[in-house]
Amino acid sequence: MRRRPALLTTALITAGLVVGGGLAADAAPAAVPAGRADARVLLDRLTVRSDSHAASYQRRAFHVWNDADRDRLDTRAEVLKAESRVTASVNRYGTVKGGRWISRYDNRVVTKATRLDVDHLVPLAEAWRSGAWKWSATRREAFGNDLGYGPSLIAVTRSSNRSKGDRDPAGWMPPASSYACAYVKQWIAVKSRWHLSVDRVERKALAAGLDGCDSLAVAKPGKPAISALVERRKTRTTTPKPAGGGASSAYYRNCDAVRAAGRAPLYRGQPGYETPRLDRDGDGVACE
């Protein structure tokens, strides 16, 4: 009987539960890499509020798809071009025709752009119910065309997007279970980026989704550049780029070159962004 305390202490030390002669309440949290954020921290900061103003939602209030940089590629084309695993074919009108995409919702390979939707990860109607109803027209347009943060917009099969509709993760999750954790983390990050609220059922589903994640790290959502959109609207003298210029108008040999240029991380839609060469996991953020 006298040996039990010593045996217990030895076992706790082996398990890493004795620190400085006492019991550690929790293990030290894993460090979040630079350029990443902890999804659970972001979730805890979101306002919990019931959805509202659902009846007044109109898709046209978000003014999608625009061509903010006037390169003849609208937002849809920019996303399709950036996410193609091979060089996408673009016609003279700025329409993406072919490429090779992997729809992360259902893990299907697609080679014809007409079979894809560019989905707002947080649907426009959901954003409206979560606070966008009170935004300015400019802010709603910026949300509807958010190329500044990779997870905001995603190319997926039309069938999977139709299946999702405007439901949040409490009502719909991607059929591809391999994408479930990333989907939950990115949903939280997009809502954090735009200061959108979550309802109680949605928050519970998001917290449960994080419980199954090996890592809670997600690309830092940052602050949307609303003022930049306003300035682009005011400027009418910019010479348009040739179609197909878009996100590939700058070239970096590798991520070391991106960092040396002070451009890391690169987000989908920014000059030099390429997938899968620089953005190997296809999450819309390269060289984190």
Model pLDDT for residues 16-66, shown as the tens digit of each residue: 333 333 333 444 456 677 889 999 999 999 999 999 999 999 999 999 999
Q: What is the pTM of this model?
A: 0.73
Cα pseudo-dihedral 183, 143, 73, 236, rounded to 10: -160
Cα four-point dihedral sign 203, 208, 211, 212: negative
pLDDT in tens, 184-238: 999 999 999 999 999 999 999 999 999 989 999 999 999 998 866 655 555 533 4
Cis peptide before 224 (omega within 30 of 0): no
